[in-house]
Every structure is written in C-alpha cells, then in structure tokens.
Amino acid sequence: MIRPILRYGAEVLHQPASEVAAVTPDVQTLIDDMVQTMYAAPGIGLAATQVGVPLRVFVVDLSVGRQATDLLVFVNPEFVLTEGRQFEDEGCLSVPGFNATVARPARAVVRGLDRDGNPHTVEGTGLLARAFQHEMDHLDGAVFVDRLRGLQKQLITRRIRRLARTGKW
C-alpha cells in the first residue's frame, strides 16, 4: 500500500523514532508499504517517520527499483563508522521542490536488522553513504533543512511557511 509522505513541519518528522522491539508481520508490512511508497514517489530512500510511523526503520534503493538486489532495509540501524566529507545537492521527499548543498560523510558503515530480523552490516560510499546519513537523520528527528545554516535555511523555511499559510503545503 502506498502511504502518504509527511511534509516538513509534521511533528513526527521532528522527533526521534523508537527502537523496534521485534520484526513482526506488522513491521514487515510497514517495510513493504515503505518500499512501494518510495518507488512511487520516486525516491532513493524513505524512513518510517516520513510515513508517520515513529519507528527506527528505513529503506534505500539507489536503483529506484530497477535492480532488486539494490534494495536495502534497516531496522534499528546504527552507524559503525562514518568518515570523510562530501558536499552535494540534496533533496527530500518530505521537502518537495527544495534542494540544498549538505555536508555528509563520504563513507558510512551501517549495522542493523534486515526485513527478516537478521543482523547485517553494509558499507556505503558516495551517494549510498549520503542516503544512509539522510535516512538516519530522519530517525533522529531531523530533516536536511535542519542541517542548513543562515540565509539558505531562512529562505527555505520562509517559503515553506508561506506555502503552508496559503494551503499549498
């Protein structure tokens, strides 16, 4: 089932998500829904908080569904390692129509459970490392706009407030 993606300003996007106690059939259904929602958007990553579920779950697929083996599911993820820096333009399904350059690690290693509850560890560089950090931010209650400073952040948040006042957000 495709779920609605919450937009910047929704309360659940700005609060840390809770650990998943067990990978139950309900959690697996959530994962399936998140994958369908991510592909329909289309996007390369989606956190459970973005669909209104405050649990530590995210999915990433850099191929946007073209390679079944590229789909990564993380339940209760944690960083094992982050290193280096990259600066690239970034957007977010919860902040449609806005992009900004954000500093992210050049390499990231994430450990968590897969969709069946089995432990796994994945190393990502470049775009995959960026996606890992982006989705982990969501689970920690942050959106990429929160990583911006100064005028860049002010311009985006002002435009969002203006769109919200006119009912277009």
Catalytic residues: 135
Which bin fits 52, alpha (ψ -120 to 50), beta or left (φ > 0)? Answer: left
Instruction: Give the number of other Cβ atoms within 10 Å of residue 54's Cβ.
Output: 16
Classify residue 97 as exposed, middle or buried by CB count within 10 Å of its CB (0-12, 13-18, 19+).
Answer: exposed
Write down the H helix ranges in the chain: 25-40, 127-139, 150-165
E strands, the chain, in order: 45-47, 57-60, 72-83, 86-90, 100-104, 107-113, 119-125
